[in-house]
Amino acid sequence: MILAPLLGVLACTEAPAPDSGDSGLAVGCTDEVVAVVSATEIGTAPRLKWQSDEASGGRVRFTNGDGLTRLWADGLEAMEHDAVLVGIVPNAEWTWEILVGEGDDERCVGTGSATNGSLPAGLPQVSRVMVTEPAQGLTVVPVLLGSPQINNWLMIFDEAGRIVWAYPASAGTGEEVWLSTAAFAHDGSGVYFNHQAPSAEDAGWIAEVGFDGEFRFAAMVPGMHTDFREGADGRIAALAWDLREVGAWQVLGDKVVVIEPGGAFSTLWSGFDAIEFDQNGDWPKGFYGADPNVADWTHVNSVSWTPDGEALLVTMTAFSGVARLDAASGATEWLYGDVIGDFPDSPSIVSAPHSAEETDDGEVLLFNRGDYSQHPMDACSWASEVVFNPEAQTVTETARWPGTDCLLVTFLGNAKRLPGDLTLVDWSSAGRIEQLTRSGEPVWSVSLGAGYGFGTADFLASVAE
């Protein structure tokens, strides 16, 4: 298998071919290229460096130490190559080969082997279950202790549910990080993650940590909070608080900001522009830590790009709302929710949604936290696939994933479509992530020990080589 065509990307294949030997790599390598393996700040992500006689794209095929062969490729024409390899089992013996040419002209010009490093101490206990045929690829997710915020982690799990990469979220700043979301960078260089601002005036930030552990700030935005997503063009859509005075109310709304690759940002959309604030409503107070007298209103909690990059989806706890936004103008293309929006005759089949992802066929994959305030003893969360038809003003649920048992998620939660018609469901506060079939059967599951929860997860998928 080969992952999406990204810079510095990894790919994986199944067990080695019968004529490849025990290493899983092809026989017949020459010694035209001598590579140097060295450690990085992340003990399980070794660096491989080499030089070529002429400019070419760098490619490395390497084993993960347990029956899979992965491919790293940067696609850059250069004579000096620097590959940081992720997805190798900790402490395992692994083998690599450097490739040039493509197709029938592909050949191996250097090979070697090494022993991978260890994971850091102090990681939370993880139990894993792999039933059968999970999606090929890697899952990145924040692992949250809750308090203090100094003890949160970014982790990457492999196809067998093993931790293969771990980074303490506070390592880059040495300070508390109010972490909620992690996502693979589209250029294949590492992982983006966030720090939520304590108020609408203070800055939240997004940072990138390379697979080698190198930390850099990507953007700082006042009021930036729960979620963000990078688009195919390198721009990042993120959520930020929008604090306004409406009549006698101090109201906490939300906005979507778009961050350019250089860090400059602008506001694309605000809930105040799409929904009228009801001054006679019973809006809860106490959520906003900077001022407990501020009313919590839209409570937008997720943002995502559509596959074509021309629109964004947002979800909001208030009204159990989902909105589709034009990514160029910020116009609200359609709005769904209780007592608001463009679907007045549709049943309430969405409940406190916390993620929305438009699939390639135009349906919307949702994670529904559910309304546990009304039924706290028997409430369950679930993922669902929904068709929104604004012309007919209808909403139809086409699939539902309640999980293997009733799990109540009290914060975050997300669902993501994976290859093979599998669905990743992140039961965040319950400390479990699953890959589920269309019928709801788990094929992969990771659970945390008591006291830990997951943040919003991402998946680096693969396609046939």
pLDDT tens, position by position, 36-66: 999 999 999 999 999 988 888 889 999 999 9
More confident residue, 227 or 21: 227
124 contacts 449 by C-beta, under 8 angstroms: yes
Q: Report the distance separating Cα 132 and Cα 129, nearest Å.
A: 9
What is the per-residue pLDDT for 17? 38
Mode of pairing for the β-strands spanning 300-305 and 353-358: unpaired
Question: Which among 266, 274, 261, 360 has a CA at the least distance from the CA of 309?
Answer: 360
What is the per-residue pLDDT for 7? 34
Q: Report the distance separating Cα 214 and Cα 202, nearest Å.
A: 25
Query: 319 to each of 46, 298, 399, how far by Cα in Å?
Result: 48, 8, 22
Question: Which among 37, 29, 46 has a CA at the least distance from the CA of 98?
Answer: 29
Token couple for 290: 């900077």
Q: Report the distance separating Cα 337 and Cα 351, nearest Å.
A: 9
Q: Report the distance separating Cα 53 and Cα 40, nearest Å.
A: 26
What is the per-residue pLDDT for 460? 93
User: Per-residue pLDDT averaged across 367-381, rounded?
Assistant: 79
Could you tell me the end-to-end alpha-carbon distance of the chain, in angstroms, rounded to an integer? 5
What is the per-residue pLDDT for 374? 66
CATH topology of domain 36-116: Immunoglobulin-like (2.60.40)
Distance, C-alpha 412 to centroid of its chain: 13
Q: Report the distance separating Cα 21 and Cα 336, nearest Å.
A: 57
What is the per-residue pLDDT for 463? 44
Helical (H) or strand (E) element with 354: strand 353-358
User: Per-residue pLDDT averaged across 317-322, rounded?
Assistant: 92
User: Percentage of the chain with pLDDT > 90?
Assistant: 74
Question: Per-residue confidence at 27, pLDDT binned at 50, 70, 90?
Answer: low
What is the per-residue pLDDT for 26? 54
What is the per-residue pLDDT for 192? 98
pLDDT above 70 (res 236): yes
Residue 305 has φ and ψ, to the nearest 5°, of: -85, 145
pLDDT above 80 (res 346): no
Token couple for 359: 């699939």
Q: Report the distance separating Cα 182 and Cα 414, nearest Å.
A: 12
Question: Which among 441, 440, 445, 439 has a CA at the least distance from the CA of 427?
Answer: 445
What strand order describes the sheet that includes 311-316?
300-305, 311-316, 321-326, 332-337, 340-341
What is the per-residue pLDDT for 20? 42
What is the per-residue pLDDT for 216? 96
What is the per-residue pLDDT for 2? 34
Question: Cβ contacts of residue 364 below 8 Å, gap of 6+?
Answer: 313, 322, 356, 357, 358, 385, 386, 387, 388
What is the per-residue pLDDT for 14? 47
Cis omega (within 30 of 0) on the bond before 46? no
What is the per-residue pLDDT for 377? 65
pLDDT above 70 (res 25): no
88 contacts 64 by C-beta, under 8 angstroms: yes
- Lowest pLDDT segment from 70-79, 406-415, 455-464: 455-464
Q: Report the distance separating Cα 281 and Cα 242, nearest Å.
A: 18
What is the per-residue pLDDT for 57? 86
What is the per-residue pLDDT for 386? 96
User: Per-residue pLDDT averaged across 204-213, rounded?
Assistant: 97
CB atoms under 10 Å from CB of 449, counted, come to 10
What is the per-residue pLDDT for 55? 85
Map residue 386 onto helix, strand or coil: strand
Question: Cβ contacts of residue 255 below 8 Å, gap of 6+?
Answer: 239, 240, 241, 242, 267, 268, 269, 270, 271
Question: Per-residue confidence at 5, pLDDT binned at 50, 70, 90?
Answer: very low
What is the per-residue pLDDT for 3? 38
Q: Report the distance separating Cα 365 and Cα 354, nearest Å.
A: 11
What is the per-residue pLDDT for 188? 86
What is the per-residue pLDDT for 306? 98
Residues of the chain with CATH 2.60.40.10: 36-116
What is the per-residue pLDDT for 358? 98
Question: Can you tell me which residue has the tokens 């050949």?
Answer: 107
pLDDT in tens, 104-134: 888 999 999 999 999 999 898 899 887 788 9
What is the per-residue pLDDT for 105? 84
- 420: alpha, beta or left, given left = phi > 0 and alpha = psi -120 to 50? left
pLDDT above 90 (res 166): yes
Mode of pairing for the β-strands spanning 353-358 and 340-341: unpaired
pLDDT above 50 (res 21): no
The CATH number that domain 126-461 falls under is: 2.120.10.30
Question: Which among 359, 372, 273 has a CA at the least distance from the CA of 317?
Answer: 372
368 contacts 426 by C-beta, under 8 angstroms: no
Average pLDDT, the chain: 90
- Lowest pLDDT segment from 55-64, 368-377, 443-452: 368-377
Q: Report the distance separating Cα 238 and Cα 256, nearest Å.
A: 6
User: Percentage of the chain with pLDDT > 70?
Assistant: 91
What is the per-residue pLDDT for 18? 34
Question: Per-residue confidence at 280, pLDDT binned at 50, 70, 90?
Answer: very high
Residue 104 has φ and ψ, to the nearest 5°, of: -65, -20
pTM over 0.95: no
Residues of the chain with CATH 2.120.10.30: 126-461
What is the per-residue pLDDT for 16? 40
In angstroms, what is the C-alpha Rg of the chain?
Answer: 23
